[in-house]
Amino acid sequence: MKNFVYISNEYRDAWKQYVENPQKLEEWENFNDDFKEEFKFKLEEEQHFLQKVNRPPSWFLNDKLGEKEFLFNMSQDHYPTRVDYEYTNDLPSFSDIMFERAIELRDKGKVIDLFYSGGIDSVAILYALAEVCPKDQLRIIMGDETSINYYPKGYKEIVGHLSCEFADGNIFGMAHIDTNLFTTGCEAERLFGGVGYPHSRNTNKERYTYEKDYDFHHDNWWNLTRFTWISCSMRYLQNINIEKFPIENYQPFYLCPALEKFSINNVLDRNMVWGANRWVTPEHFLKTKMELRNFIARWDKEYAYSMHKTDMPLVVQREMILPIPTNYNVLAITGNGTIVSSKNIMDYMKRECLTI
């Protein structure tokens, strides 16, 4: 059986073409009607769940518990620790967990590629890693100068003294994950109040209130986390140009059992401050992600308690601003880190790739 940790929409579309075989190519496998019906059902089921957990139809799902199957066989080996939705007593402090995670990455003995935006998610990682890692272990990757402009002090005092690179329009191809550890802050959105897209059960700004939506976000959080959290950072690997990488090099900073347990406790205690709604005021947003803000305040209180939400400029990946479909190198990534591309795709157009 072949399994995956990343599925692109292009790979899904390739399977649609392969099953239907509109050109009646004799070289392709011939699927019977029962298979086609089950294939169609699995596609529709996946789309239903994507909508349910607030993800775009082009994305994919991976149940971190390894229980619910969708169309493709998925692997959870890149996050092997099972964490259930239950309260955990006697957790270390948030700061201690952050430093323990930084030390864990340091002790793997590899260069750490940190995708850095200048927003609070990545700034917290920067401070944690800079505190425990030698300078030559850190490679900072930025989309463009926006990352510096968001937090000039961070660049002046830390980033500018480390190995750092701009993406030059190819942020999805910058990771040296075949040799280095790959880390980002993407998973922080889910852990600290991000609610997916769309941001609210309401589509009418006049009807929206934070209080009315609180229960919706609270009740939806576990499903959203269970099916989407372990895949959040995969998008930053969409354009890498390698054949395979050690799956253990995939190390998003917040993809950490202790941090997940901390967040679950926060949700169960109803202490979570939901903050990604498009209509949340700037004043309210400054109340979100307070754990990260308090951590950063050890070094810079002014930044920690004044920083608003940052957004990745589309120009950091040139394909995102072109009026043509994207054509990234990576069609899928298998559970052992093999890259599925146009060169080897036919090796992965086999029934063993599917749950049918």
Q: What is the pLDDT of residue 203?
A: 56
How many CB atoms are closer than 10 A to CB 104?
14
> Which residue segment(s) compose the domain that 293 sits in?
4-353
* Domains contained in the chain, number: 1
Q: Do residues 129 and 108 make contact, with C-beta atoms less than 8 angstroms apart? A: no
Mean pLDDT along residues 109-130: 97
Instruction: Lowest mean pLDDT of 14-23, 166-175, 203-212, 213-222, name the range.
Output: 203-212
Instruction: Lowest mean pLDDT of 112-116, 222-226, 322-326, name the range.
Output: 322-326
Instruction: Identify the CATH number of the domain in which residue 163 sits.
Output: 3.40.50
Q: Is beta strand 138-142 parallel, antiparallel or unpaired with respect to 112-115?
A: parallel
Whether the pLDDT of residue 83 is over 60: the answer is yes
Q: What is the pLDDT of residue 324?
A: 73
pLDDT band at 56 (very low <50, low <70, confident <90, very high): confident
Instruction: Lowest mean pLDDT of 51-55, 122-126, 201-205, name the range.
Output: 201-205
pLDDT in tens, 293-307: 999 999 999 999 997
Q: What is the DSSP string of 149-208?
A: HH-HHHHHHTGGGSEEEE-TTBGGG---TTTSEEE-STTHHHHTT---SSS-S---TTT-
- Please, is 94 exposed, middle or buried when counting C-beta atoms within 10 Å of its C-beta (0-12, 13-18, 19+)? middle
pTM: 0.93
Residues 6+ apart with CB under 8 A from 19: 31, 35, 36, 39
End-to-end CA distance of the chain: 12
pLDDT in tens, 257-281: 999 999 999 999 999 998 755 666 7
Q: What is the pLDDT of residue 146?
A: 92
Residue of 189, 183, 194 whose CA lies nearest to 125: 183
- Structure-block tokens of residue 151: 């937090």
Average pLDDT, the chain: 92
The number of helices, as runs of H, and strands, as runs of E, in the chain is: 12, 7
pLDDT in tens, 145-156: 999 999 999 999
